[in-house]
Amino acid sequence: MALPKRIIKETERLMNEPVPGISAVPHEDNLRYFDVTIDGPSQSPYEGGLFKLELFLPDDYPMTPPKIRFLTKIYHPNIDRLGRICLDVLKSNWSPALQIRTILLSIQALLGAPNPDDPLANDVAQKWKEDQNAAIETARQWTQEHAKP
Amino acid sequence: MDDPHPGERPRKKPRFWVEKNEEPVVESVHPAVTPLHVNVSPSPSPPPPNNEAPTDEQPKVEDSELHADSITDGFDTGLLQAVVGELAPSVLQILQRRSNNDVQRAINLYLDGSWQSAPPSVTPSTSTSLPFQTRLTNGLKRQDTEMSSISTPDSEASSTPMAPILKAMPSKRYIGSFGAVAWATRSGRGLLQHAEKVGIERSKMKEYPTKKRAVNNKKQDVVVRFTNAKGEEVGRLENGFAAWISVLIDQKLCSFEGSCVYVPDRLKTGETVYLQLQCFFVRSAFDKRKFVKPDSNRAISPFEELESRDEKDLRLRQVAMVKLFEAINLSPSRNNESTEKHKRQGLLQAAESAESKEQKEKTKAITSTLPGSSPPSEENEEGEELEQDQLDSLYKKAQSFDFNTPTLEPASTFSMDLRKYQKQALHWMVGKERDEAAENRELSMHPLWEEYVWPTQDADNNPVPTVDEQTMFYVNPYSGELSLEFPRQEQNCLGGILADEMGLGKTIEMLSLIHTHRNSVQEKDSTVKRLPRLSKSSATVEQAPYTTLVVAPMSLLAQWASEAEKASKDGTLKILLYYGAEKSANLQKLCCEANGANAPNVVITSYGTILSEFNQVAAMDGNRGSHGGLFSLEYFRIILDEAHYIKNRQSKTAKACYELSATHRWVLTGTPIVNRLEDLFSLVRFLKVEPWSNFSFWRTFITVPFESKDFLRALDVVQTVLEPLVLRRTKDMKTPSGEALVPLPPRTIEIDKIQLSQDEREVYDYIYMRAKRVFAQNAEAGTLMKSYTTIFAQILRLRQSCCHPVLTRKKDIVAEEEDAAEASDLANGLADDMDLQSLIERFQSDGEQDANSFGAHVLKQIQDESNSECPICSEEPMLDQAVTGCWHSACKECLLNYINHQRDRNILPLCFNCRNPINARDIFEVVRHDHLLEEDSLQNSIESSSQTPRISLRRIGLAGSAKTQALLGHLKAERREDRATKSVVFSQFTSFLDLIEPALTRDHIPFVRFDGSMSQKQRAIVLQEFNESSQPYVLLLSLRAGGVGLNLTCAQRVFMMDPWWSFAVEAQAIDRVHRMGQTKKVKVVRFVVEGSIEEKMLKIQDRKKFIASSLGMMSDEEKKLQRIEDIKELLS
């Protein structure tokens, strides 16, 4: 199946006008599969970390959202052990007008503003609510351990 | 017979033959008739030709009675004669012998004429309208031949040596005799004696010069009177005879003498009189019209009648001559075999049809003189129009081109490259011009003429004076001319008709001829020698042996000049444009032989110039030379371009062109026959091709058979005319190796698979199930063949529903529904077709409210966004921009896909932008009117240029069916690519075209329409507009009306809206665009609805099952069976 024009355009744009702190590179053998890295946002426990993600565009993209998962271990109430992300725009609030770029920006924003009220990793969320400083410290440690560039 | 002619004999019962037994007249007739012929046999002395010896009467009667008595053994001659009338003894003998003494059989033999099959048979009379008279004349003749065969032994010795031999043609010369029937106009005793010499004269000879009246009268005066020896009028000839005898006398061809064969003792008015007439050709008949060349005829009458008076006279004369030769039983001793076949019959037929037509014209003329109706114009043409298929078959016959004909390289001064077929044309043309064979041809008789031997004896075997060295005379039955000289065949035509189809390069071919076959100034002596008989038809006409005259329509003059320039190496061809202000003072001086070195090689002029100079020359009493213009020269060659300009032989232009003189004459035309066979005649007339340039001949063999629906014969003859004259190649011709004459640009065919909308699919499925059910029921009941029509109608429905659901429903219901929907939308403030400008205005006018100003802002945004990227597919600009109810834009298809996608998953579709709920009903298409031509906006010049392009919003789904939308999409896309592209849209359903029309109108796509319901004239107008307009027109064409013949090479796109059973038919339609003359790539799009009957039809097409049936090789029944098989597959 030929690659839709939209995907080609998005890819080109990601290459030519990269978003600061974010990179997405398609696999040569599968142009719908992207290796993604996101810099941890400053003034967050993830600062200084480089997080790897994988991104896959399903056949009916952009009717359905891309599938995205963290590969780098991360301590975050909205990201589970398997790297799955809880983000509305990746689910019910997806719109075909959204793009890879916007989604990755949303994820970067999510790192800066964890939302323990809508958790995916329940244990992390619990911790975050009980002792936010300890949780942030753990997150920082995880970043040091797992997300060193 | 029931002719209301005033001069007609009063109607009376022909007692004479019917009531034989009661009527004493019968008894007296036969003794009188019989001896007349019997008395010839002994021929005691050579009596003066028409003096029957009455004294012989008695003995002969006895003689015959004697015979009758003597033959008694079982053969009742009395009974025989009582039934069939008195018979000569020799006839009785024959009858008795042949019937084996069976009287009944003898009667039959006699009456059916088979008794005399052994002796030279007499031509049966064609006139069936005069049964009893005919029988009489035949009877007389029969006896004639009988008698003479018996009598020859003793007459031979005595009569022949006595004939005088004259040195020259006498004032009149005997040609033959025949029996004629007349009737008395007076009564009385002793007015006329048996065997009395009678005079034959026309009643009102004086009135002949004012014949114009006669022409205008419905019936011509044909009364021929006969007088007794004292010169008193006794009666008139029967009309059957008078009709043609009067013409022969009036036109001073013949004179007649007669003698009375039978007359009752007491003559009563209206009673029958039998005459023996002798016919003489008058001396003047031979010299008066001797070889009058038609081209010397300079008569220009502005108000030419349909059949001119000359033509009418000629027609009467032709008929009269044929009738005369028939009556005197004289047949030609030599004539042209090719014309022999239907000659006389044809002539008579031609004359009859002209007569009936004349009457029709009369009634027409009467109606047209009514106030308010326009007078018949000069352009009135005769002849029936040819149907397209007739024209096709005609051309097919005329264009059997042999691809192996030799080629000829053009002269070195010609600077262009010729294609092979053009070199073949050159070879052919040079061959035609150098037709040396014509010069050496042995003396052969002119094909129109017939040779006759002067009779040496009269009907009574009496010698008639003969003329020294004049044993023959010649008759041209077509012109009615007579001649004593041998009519030599002349080869006049050293040219022809170059009828290659448009685009094959006729002009170039002709220019190559101009270069290749020309007289160089040095060899002028030989030139003069070669053209001796063409010299000096008028002493003042100069030879122009180096000049070719090109006559073309005004609009083509410049093109001719530039092409001629381009095709010639520098300085090898002197070209002169001769028209209007550029006319040189004296063309004659310039082009004449003496000025050879400086004479222009090509003079290019217009038909208009020809006509105006023709009028000038005519005003100078035809003095060509002193005018010094076009008509003062005899050119080496004349070329008429677009020669159908002279297709009407009555037009002044045509007549003017006939008057131009030249050695070689050529006509160029892509359509030698525009719509009448007469069109071709005018060309042939210009070319002076004998015998066809004789209109009478043409009428006889071509027009008349054609009009009497004898198409095969007419076309056959036309082919013989055309074959040696015409070179015609068409663009569709293929070389033996299958290549086109001129290679065509490539053609692509793509199939656009259409997705039906939900609603359409429901309609389709419903009809599909119904069709399937009907088929299954019938298949079960075994009534498939019977219900064939019903099933076929269902299939048709199905195919229509693929095009547009509306096609399958009753129109009035649909209209109502649409009205209702429209009304409710208007109530909601959302008209179906909102004009964006007016919407914006509305919002701006009450701009205080925030919501509204936001709306206005967004609507402006829509306009601005239309060139930006689609948020869904990233297409830039959007394909068919559409907006949601919340005014967010995307491609129409993306938007619909998205809504469907969400709906399929039972998710409420939200706007991709603002996440408001949206639905498919509230999607509006943004219709931009920027695919319109610049010209349009230029017309509304200043105001529109400053404005933003007009945009309107239209609710989706109203653009029509999926197919119409797809079509519009293609059309708009192609307009964006290339504004000038023209497209042709084929559908087999004219009602579908009806639905496409409003969709095109709404999107401001200009279109024209062509279908079978239009008249020939309307079609021509439509095609001309489509061809010539610079607008990117769409032509809506019904497959059936436009599948064949048309040339639509000005278009580059073809859209096939629906598949036909056989692809061959579609391919033919596509070839209207993709054919010779097409210079650009052709793209064909076939619309096929996915998952429908149409896809299955394509499969059937692939198997080519329908080719046989479409070619008519199957019977109707077979076709039905075949179709049912296919329907089974379609519904599977």
Sorted by sequence, the CB contacts under 8 Å of residue B28 that are 6+ apart come out as B264, B265
Active site residue A121: no
Same fold, B500-518+539-688 and B833-929+949-955: no
Task: Give me the residue from A5, A63, A95 closest to B874, CB to CB.
Answer: A5
CB contact under 8 A, B894 and A96: yes
CB contact under 8 A, A95 and B915: yes
Q: What's the rounded mean pLDDT across residues B1094-1100?
A: 84
CB contact under 8 A, B901 and A60: yes
Half-sphere exposure of B334 (CA within 13 A, CB side): 12
Q: Does B403 touch chain A (CB under 8 A)?
A: no
Among the listed residues A59, A70, A69, A57, the one whose alpha carbon sits nearest the alpha carbon of residue A98: A57
- In chain B, residues with a C-beta closer than 8 Å to the C-beta of A5 are 873-875
Range name among A6-15, B277-286, B653-662 with the lowest pLDDT average: B277-286
- Which range of B77-81, B217-221, B674-678, B965-969 scores highest in mean pLDDT? It is B965-969
Mutate to test the interface with B, among A9, A59, A63, A100 (most CBs of B within 10 A): A63
When pLDDT is cut at 50, 70 and 90, the band that residue B428 belongs to is confident
A60 min Cα distance to partner chain B (Å): 9
d(CA B666, CA B629): 20
Among the listed residues B95, B1034, B1099, B293, the one whose alpha carbon sits nearest the alpha carbon of residue B693: B293
pLDDT the model gives residue B231: 77
When pLDDT is cut at 50, 70 and 90, the band that residue B263 belongs to is confident
pLDDT the model gives residue B51: 43
The two beta strands, B188-189 and B602-606, are unpaired
d(CA B427, CA B422): 9
- Which range of B52-61, B460-469, B781-790 scores highest in mean pLDDT? It is B781-790
d(CA B691, CA B606): 29
When pLDDT is cut at 50, 70 and 90, the band that residue B365 belongs to is very low
CB contact under 8 A, B872 and A62: yes
Q: Does B915 touch chain A (CB under 8 A)?
A: yes
Task: Give me the residue from B875, B898, B910 closest to A63, CB to CB.
Answer: B898
Q: Does B12 touch chain A (CB under 8 A)?
A: no
B1082 min Cα distance to partner chain A (Å): 27
- In chain B, residues with a C-beta closer than 8 Å to the C-beta of A62 are 872-873
Over 50: is that where the pLDDT of B188 sits? Answer: yes
B901 min Cα distance to partner chain A (Å): 7
Q: Letter for the amino acid at B191?
A: L
Widest distance between CA atoms in chain A:
51
- Residue B691 preceded by cis peptide, ω within 30: yes
Task: Give me the residue from A4, A60, A96 closest to B912, CB to CB.
Answer: A96
CB contact under 8 A, A97 and B875: no
pLDDT the model gives residue B145: 38
CB contact under 8 A, A6 and B874: yes
CB contact under 8 A, B897 and A63: yes
CB contact under 8 A, B875 and A5: yes
pTM for the whole thing? 0.43
Contact B140, B179 (CB under 8 A): yes
pLDDT the model gives residue B270: 82
What the block records as the tokens of B828 is: 């909601």
Mutate to test the interface with A, among B865, B868, B874, B896 (most CBs of A within 10 A): B874
| Count helices and strands in chain A by DSSP H and E runs | 4, 4
Q: Which residue of B has its CA nearest to A60?
A: B901
CB contact under 8 A, A93 and B915: yes
More confident residue, B145 or A102: A102
Range name among B483-487, B511-515, B876-880, B914-918 with the lowest pLDDT average: B483-487
Task: Give me the residue from A63, A93, A97 closest to B871, CB to CB.
Answer: A97
Q: How do residues B705-721 score in pLDDT, each as one tens digit?
A: 777 776 666 777 777 77
CB contact under 8 A, B913 and A95: yes
More confident residue, B221 or B1034: B1034
d(CA B869, CA B891): 9
Task: Give me the residue from B873, B911, B913 closest to A4, CB to CB.
Answer: B873
Over 80: is that where the pLDDT of B507 sits? Answer: yes
What topology does CATH give the domain B958-1116? Rossmann fold (3.40.50)
Q: Does B917 touch chain A (CB under 8 A)?
A: no
Over 70: is that where the pLDDT of B489 sits? Answer: no
Q: Which of A36, A55, A85, A86 is catalytic?
A: A86
Q: How do residues B113-135 score in pLDDT, each as one tens digit?
A: 666 654 444 444 433 333 444 34
What the block records as the tokens of B542 is: 């100069």
Q: Does B910 touch chain A (CB under 8 A)?
A: yes
d(CA A89, CA B555): 70
- In chain B, residues with a C-beta closer than 8 Å to the C-beta of A97 are 871-872, 912-913
The two beta strands, B496-498 and B661-668, are parallel
Q: What's the rounded mean pLDDT across residues B1116-1122?
A: 67
Rounded to the nearest 5 degrees, what angle is found at the Cα of B936, between the Cα atoms of B932 and B937?
95
CB contact under 8 A, B873 and A5: yes
Q: Tokens 């009936």, residue?
A: B356
Residues facing residue B1010 across a β-bridge: B1037
d(CA B160, CA B46): 9
- In chain A, residues with a C-beta closer than 8 Å to the C-beta of B912 are 95-97
What topology does CATH give the domain B833-929+949-955? Herpes Virus-1 (3.30.40)
Q: How do residues B888-923 score in pLDDT, each as one tens digit?
A: 888 888 888 888 888 888 888 888 888 888 877 677
**pLDDT, chain B, mean:** 69
- CB-CB neighbours of B340 under 10 Å: 11
- Which range of B73-87, B90-104, B769-783, B933-947 scores highest in mean pLDDT? It is B769-783
pLDDT the model gives residue B132: 42
Over 80: is that where the pLDDT of B320 sits? Answer: yes
Q: What's the rounded mean pLDDT across residues B665-681?
A: 79
- In chain B, residues with a C-beta closer than 8 Å to the C-beta of A88 are none
pLDDT the model gives residue B1087: 93
A95 min Cα distance to partner chain B (Å): 5
Q: Which residue of B has its CA nearest to A9?
A: B874
pLDDT the model gives residue B960: 67
Q: What's the rounded mean pLDDT across residues B350-373?
A: 46
Q: What's the rounded mean pLDDT across residues B322-338?
A: 72
Q: Give the distance from CA A109 to its chain's centroid.
A: 9
B392: enclosing H helix or E strand: helix B388-398
pLDDT the model gives residue B223: 80
DSSP B998-1063: HHHHHTT--EEEE-TTS-HHHHHHHHHHHHH--S--EEEEEHHHHSSS---TT--EEEE-S--S-H
pLDDT the model gives residue B152: 39
- In chain B, residues with a C-beta closer than 8 Å to the C-beta of A6 are 872-874
Q: How do residues B291-301 score in pLDDT, each as one tens digit?
A: 333 333 334 34
Q: Does B894 touch chain A (CB under 8 A)?
A: yes
When pLDDT is cut at 50, 70 and 90, the band that residue B162 belongs to is low
**pLDDT, chain A, mean:** 89
A35 min Cα distance to partner chain B (Å): 22
Residues from A contacting B (CB-CB < 8 Å) are: 4-6, 9-10, 60, 62-63, 93, 95-97
- Which range of B156-170, B533-547, B881-895 scores highest in mean pLDDT? It is B881-895
Q: How do residues A5-37 score in pLDDT, each as one tens digit?
A: 889 989 998 888 888 889 999 998 898 999 999
Q: Does B444 touch chain A (CB under 8 A)?
A: no
Q: Which residue of A has its CA nearest to B897?
A: A63
pLDDT the model gives residue B856: 60
Over 60: is that where the pLDDT of B497 sits? Answer: yes
CB contact under 8 A, A6 and B901: no
Q: Is B341 exposed, middle or buried (0-12, 13-18, 19+ CB in 10 A)?
A: exposed
Half-sphere exposure of B800 (CA within 13 A, CB side): 19
d(CA B783, CA B780): 8
pLDDT the model gives residue B1104: 54
Q: What percentage of chain B carries pLDDT values higher than 70?
A: 59
Half-sphere exposure of B432 (CA within 13 A, CB side): 26
Among the listed residues B323, B318, B220, B345, the one whose alpha carbon sits nearest the alpha carbon of residue B277: B323
A38 min Cα distance to partner chain B (Å): 24
Q: Does B912 touch chain A (CB under 8 A)?
A: yes
Q: What's the rounded mean pLDDT across residues B1026-1041?
A: 83
A6 min Cα distance to partner chain B (Å): 5
pLDDT the model gives residue B368: 37
Over 60: is that where the pLDDT of B776 sits? Answer: yes
When pLDDT is cut at 50, 70 and 90, the band that residue B79 belongs to is low
SS3 breakdown of chain A: % helix, strand, coil, rounded to 5?
35, 20, 45
Q: How do residues B931-960 score in pLDDT, each as one tens digit?
A: 544 444 444 433 333 344 556 676 665 556
Q: For chain A, what are the domain ranges?
A: 5-147
More confident residue, B336 or B87: B87
- Which range of B292-296, B400-404, B652-656 scores highest in mean pLDDT? It is B652-656
pLDDT the model gives residue B1010: 85
- In chain B, residues with a C-beta closer than 8 Å to the C-beta of A10 are 874
Q: Which residue of B has its CA nearest to A3?
A: B873
Q: For chain B, what are the domain ranges?
A: 77-111, 500-518+539-688, 757-813, 833-929+949-955, 958-1116
pLDDT the model gives residue A50: 92
- In chain B, residues with a C-beta closer than 8 Å to the C-beta of A60 are 901
Residues within 8 A of A (CB atoms), B 843-872 only: 871-872
Using DSSP, state whether B908 is helix, strand or coil.
coil
pLDDT the model gives residue B532: 39
Q: What's the rounded mean pLDDT across residues A116-140?
A: 87
A88 min Cα distance to partner chain B (Å): 13
Residues facing residue B452 across a β-bridge: B473
Contact B282, B249 (CB under 8 A): no
Sorted by sequence, the CB contacts under 8 Å of residue B1097 that are 6+ apart come out as B799, B1059, B1061, B1130
Over 80: is that where the pLDDT of B1069 sits? Answer: yes
Q: What's the rounded mean pLDDT across residues B806-835?
A: 50
Using DSSP, state whether B1099 is helix, strand or coil.
helix
pLDDT the model gives residue B678: 78
The region, left, alpha or beta by phi > 0 then psi within -120 to 50, assigned to residue A95 is beta
- The CATH number assigned to the domain with range A5-147 reads 3.10.110.10
Over 70: is that where the pLDDT of B58 sits? Answer: no
pLDDT the model gives residue A70: 93
Q: What's the rounded mean pLDDT across residues A104-128?
A: 88
What the block records as the tokens of B1116 is: 């109707």
- In chain A, residues with a C-beta closer than 8 Å to the C-beta of B903 are none
Over 60: is that where the pLDDT of A54 sits? Answer: yes
Find out if CATH 3.40.50.10810 is the number for domain B500-518+539-688: yes
d(CA B595, CA B586): 12
